Amino acid sequence: MIVFQILAVVVIVIAAFFMLRGGGARHQAIRRILMLLFIVAAASSVFFPGLWTAVANIVGIGRGADLLLYLTVLIFLGFVATTYRRFRHLENDVTELSRQLALVQAKALDKTTPPTD
């Protein structure tokens, strides 16, 4: 089980790294590749369930179903990390747009209000 625990910690560190770093085309390409790998893994679990048990035994886990559960939890963690990062980015964009809109509206209001001297 120690092999899987080490791999799980590595995946958690990678998820945290992606959560804290900037995005871009490279990040999106990596996400698409990982999604493709996840789809292949899901399809293989339907057609070759014994393969998952063999892989689980190699990394020190008793059953293939347990390995799939652990991997699903780790993938979910990655999803949460990227969604959190995206949400924070959108929040910052909305804040910046709100500030810009407030400045534009204040300038427009200032121009239409006659001086009170």
pLDDT tens for each residue of 14-45: 766 765 665 667 777 777 787 788 788 878 88
Nearest to 73 by CA among 4, 2, 24: 4
| pLDDT of res. 77 | 83
pLDDT of residue 22: 58
**C-beta separation of 59 from 70 below 8 A:** no
Total count of domains within the chain: 1
Separation of alpha carbons 42 and 71, rounded Å: 11
Q: Which amino acid is at 29?
A: A
In a domain, 63, yes or no: yes
Domain membership flag for residue 11: yes
Inside any domain, residue 73: yes
Whether 93 is covered by a domain: the verdict is no
Report DSSP state, residue 24: S
Can you give the pTM of this predicted structure? 0.60
Query: Does residue 98 form part of some domain?
Result: no
Q: Note whether residue 40 is domain-resident.
A: yes
Element containing residue 117 per DSSP (H, E) = none
pLDDT of residue 13: 75
Is 106 domain-assigned?
no
- Residues with Cβ within 8 Å of 70's Cβ and at least 6 positions away in sequence, in order, are 4, 8, 61
